[in-house]
Structure 1
Amino acid sequence: MSPGMKPMPIASGHTRANFGRSGISGPVRDRPERLLLYPPIISVDKYEIGVSPYDVFQMAGNVAEWVNDWYDPDYYQTAPDRNPQGPSTGEHRVFRGGGWMDSTPTVRTAQRNGTAPETQANWLGFRCAAGLKNDLTHSIPTP
């Protein structure tokens, strides 16, 4: 939990104790002028340099992204090296990456956290993805 933040009594955690009167969270909570430090959210294909070797765009920087795994902070201590599937159950779902309101060290695809599946926030989204081949080696489980 960030310094100065209070425990969240409900899943959404949108309380005045955390966000003040403005409803803004994170590093801009008490200093709205800091909103000017962040560039606007952009189209994923705006910068050619953002294309990965797998032809996906902008893997970090706009919003953190939901993934299908259940969250267990200790899972990777005993996970297989190849194709870890994540825990089979849990209370929280994983989101990865970082977004417009995060600090530079957290805007990376290896950044991994968990939150309640019903969480809705302007810094959290998802990426539509589909395989390029019809012969998928494994199916994606439904939540």
Structure 2
Amino acid sequence: MGKTRSKVWRPNAISMDLNALLEVNVDYKQAWRVKQYAMELLLGSSEEFFSKLPIYFHNLKRHNPGTVAYIQTDSEDYFECCFYAIRSTIRAFKSFCRKVIIMDGAHLMGDFKGTILHAVAMDGNNQILPLAHGIC
């Protein structure tokens, strides 16, 4: 296999390895599509992930009473946004953290565009406590 320092098998390395091992010429685009297909087989598709969110949130609330979890869908039951905060982090914020919430977000770059948001706080030891997470 290609000697890369990264744990990610990049399309260029896939192409070189297939050429070295099987003497098959594969261009970058083909290697990229094969990698995407393999990742979908391993991890499932984005559609599958979003369809499992209601079950995940139900179990999260069932096993962590006091947890806040919310999913919003449109009229055709398609995902629009979600939010969750686990009870233990809510209690920790109320008891031990400075009353300042720091928000951060990042754009999602996959099949589904959107923004993932995180709310964090700092405790008395200057440690970061993740409070809540959301996808819009």
TM-based fold match above 0.5: no
Bigger CA radius of gyration:
2
TM-score, reference length from structure 2: 0.26
TM-score, reference length from structure 1: 0.26
Ranked by relative contact order (alpha carbons within 8 Å, sequence separation 6 or more), the top structure is 1
More strand by share: 2
More helix by share: 2
